[in-house]
Structure 1
Amino acid sequence: MCRKFALCMSLVMSLTLSQVLAAEQFRVLSSWDDSYEPVGQILGGFLERLEEESNGEITSRVSGPETFPPFEQLDPVSRGLMDMLFTNGAYHYNDTAVAMSLDSLIGGPDKLRESGIWDYVDERYQERGLKLIAVLYDMNGYAIMLREALDPDNGLKGRRIRGTPIYHPVIEALGASPVVLSASEIYPALERGVVDGAAWPTVGPVGLRLYEVADYMLRPSFGQVGHEVFMSLDKWNSLDEETRDLISKVAEEYESEAVEKFNEIVAAEEATLEEKGVTITELNEKQQAQVDKAWFQGAMDLAEKQSPEAVKRIRELAADAGMAP
């Protein structure tokens, strides 16, 4: 009888524990599918860390842009249809440009928090029903893949370079004309000579196979790529204080780790591009200064058109903290 009772109690306790684990499973929405390396390595690493640190009480299930289109993901998360979002600020520019402005700054996650910008961004998104959890930075930033090498005297004068609006100031600063194309159009446009190059983050050209249609990669890169993790504010508020503290602690620690993880991804990608015959073409010191200035001012000006008061404040905080070129 005692053995049967003990067995029943053990079964009940196991079922109760399983119910607790299931109750804390987050539905995570990503702006990219698994072909984008950071989804598995960066987001996946963060979610694994949450599970480890919570002793398995926090689990996650990731869905990609097939669930909600990448440029329309703030709303479903703010309304609680999904619990978390892994994205970039430029993807929801039409709603708010606050997070997009972070890509133009100088300095990593520690400076972002020390400057007060992190908390300010969090406050602005809470007004939209979202809680900022982490900013996972790829400090390697953005670059341009080119069919022909950079002209040391004339930059990219007379060339046509693919780039969404955030890239336009840099493209124009180098003397080129911007052409707006979606990601799926980049390869055929380069292949047919419709464009002479394409601006893109340093992570990604391998996945897009751009090495087959572009023989050069522009360096040094510019800016930094923010990968924000948001949570539905209602979901956040529904969690107990201990769980919220754990998530915040893990997120802050992981922000620094993510920088190194991104460095490893980019190093591997650049090695692959080199193996495929892609050559580095370098900006000179003057051109680099022009690019850095154009990137910061251009991205900030674009962001300020959409979110004037908020981005103006971010500019002030960035200037005070030495995070603007």
Structure 2
Amino acid sequence: MNIKYRSLFYSILFVLGAILTACSNSVGTETDISSEAQSGSSKPEVYKWSLGINTTEGSVRDVTAKKFKEIVEEKTDGRLQIEIHLGESLGTEQEMINMVQVGALELQLAGGLFANIVPEYNTLSLPFIVDDYDEAYAVLDGPVGDRWKELASERGFKVLAHTELGFAQITTNNKPIYHPDDLKGLRMRSPNEAIWIESFRELGSAVSTMPFTEVYMALSQGVVDGQFNPPSAIYETNFHEVQDYLALTNHFYWHVNFIMNDDLWNSLDEELQEIIQEAAYEARDLSRAHIQKKDTEMLEVLKDEFIEITQPDIQAFRDVLEPKIDSIAKTIPAEAVEETYKFLEEYRKAKN
């Protein structure tokens, strides 16, 4: 299906989903939830759900989704069946997020674009806001993350867990990056999210936005000069084939939001909710361990794939970006930014 007709298809699906949600307490449709139980039958209801991700087989989202599917189907004795849809086969990441919101898709592992609907989640994407994984998990799994989950619920989402993606690094195809000045004038690809776009504009880059599935081709054809992603994503999507240099900047931390429709969640019995929630937490823990191990392994592999891997002057990057945080964070509610920085300050004091 070409892009024009696919977009039209999902626009229609979005509207239909909204109508179904407004007209019924059940967000399930014939394709969303199917019951094998007939009226008056003693057989339990069987749910068949779709889980959408925008990456390919073997990616951390795929690993996370498969773990969730395995646990849920085993613990429910097949009462809940999960079908995983890879590589934006159901639509772009933003389209799938919209589909979950209106009940046209049951589950999604949604990345940074989720913040277009729940902007508080972008707080953790601010440049250099966290120094390591422990700080990120303290935010996501603590009172700050709980507050964001509540805000997501108000917008129609049940956030089951915060899974892992990792710290972003920069790749380029024309010159290595040692200093922020090296990025001036480069055409950098970014997801369509204001935080990342504004950050690279402050660094002097010309920013182009495009779906993740189009990045490899854009790099290979010279449409853009570089991109930024965690090491595992760089390797899994073969960006090293069309890029020459890797700069270890750790400038953005990225997590993934395991989401489902909130009305659908509330329609489930307590036993099924408990199984789904526990499975999501187990999948989250697996994703975190997987990324930390995988990124270390991938950096070793990538040493042989890039012409050069650089260790840039991180303080110079901080000196450019940190004074601009208010401008970069203009799409995030100020109270969310303040709350997160205050929490991290107290967390660091307690840790030391």
Normalised-by-shorter TM-score class: 0.7 to 0.9
1:84 aligns with one of 107, 125, 135 = 107
Instruction: Find the counterpart in structure 1 of residue 84 from structure 2.
Output: 62
CA distance, structure 1, for counterparts of residue 301 and residue 243 of structure 2: 14
Instruction: Find the counterpart in structure 2 of residue 276 from structure 1.
Output: 305
Instruction: Find the counterpart in structure 1 of residue 256 from structure 2.
Output: 227
CA distance, structure 1, for counterparts of residue 300 and residue 324 of structure 2: 26
Instruction: Find the counterpart in structure 2 of residue 72 from structure 1.
Output: 95
Distance 1:103 1:283, change over 3 A: same
Report if aligned partners of 1:89, 1:98 keep a CA contact under 8 Å in 2.
no
Cα offset, 1:217, TM superposition:
0.8
Q: For 1:28, what is the secondary structure of its paired residue?
A: strand
Instruction: Find the counterpart in structure 1 of residue 237 from structure 2.
Output: 208
2:266 partner letter: N
CA distance, structure 1, for counterparts of residue 167 and residue 119 of structure 2: 18
Instruction: Find the counterpart in structure 2 of residue 5 from structure 1.
Output: none
Instruction: Find the counterpart in structure 1 of residue 168 from structure 2.
Output: 142
Instruction: Give deviations 1:255-308, integer Å, cap 9, x for gaps.
Output: 33321111233234333322323421122142242377379656532x32xxxx
Instruction: Find the counterpart in structure 1 of residue 6 from structure 2.
Output: none
1:1-325 alignment to 2 at 5 Å?
Answer: 20=44, 23-30=46-53, 32-35=54-57, 37-54=59-76, 56-64=78-86, 65-90=88-113, 93=116, 95-104=117-126, 105-106=129-130, 107-114=135-142, 116-138=143-165, 140-147=166-173, 148-152=175-179, 154-164=181-191, 165-183=194-212, 186-191=215-220, 193-290=222-319, 293=322, 300-301=329-330, 303-304=331-332, 311-322=333-344
Instruction: Give deviations 1:190-217, integer Å, cap 9, x for gaps.
Output: 4455543222343322343322222111
Alpha-carbon RMSD across the aligned residues, in angstroms, is 3.3
Instruction: Find the counterpart in structure 2 of residue 9 from structure 1.
Output: none
Report if aligned partners of 1:173, 1:294 keep a CA contact under 8 Å in 2.
no
Structure 1 residues 76-85 or 142-151, which shifts more?
76-85
Work out which of the two has the higher radius of gyration on C-alpha atoms and give 1 or 2. Answer: 1
Report if aligned partners of 1:101, 1:299 keep a CA contact under 8 Å in 2.
no
Report if aligned partners of 1:167, 1:199 keep a CA contact under 8 Å in 2.
no
CA distance, structure 1, for counterparts of residue 226 and residue 94 of structure 2: 24
Q: For 2:234, what is the secondary structure of its paired residue?
A: coil
Number of equivalences? 297
2:274 partner letter: D
Distance 1:279 1:297, change over 3 A: farther
Cα offset, 1:181, TM superposition:
4.3
Cα offset, 1:134, TM superposition:
0.8
Distance 1:249 1:299, change over 3 A: farther
In structure 1, runs of 5+ residues without a counterpart are 1-15, 305-310
Distance 1:53 1:109, change over 3 A: farther
CA distance, structure 1, for counterparts of residue 93 and residue 292 of structure 2: 25
CA distance, structure 2, for counterparts of residue 132 and residue 41 of structure 1: 19
Report if aligned partners of 1:90, 1:99 keep a CA contact under 8 Å in 2.
no
Distance 1:45 1:267, change over 3 A: farther
Distance 1:27 1:267, change over 3 A: same
Q: Percent identity?
A: 20
Q: For 2:184, what is the secondary structure of its paired residue?
A: coil
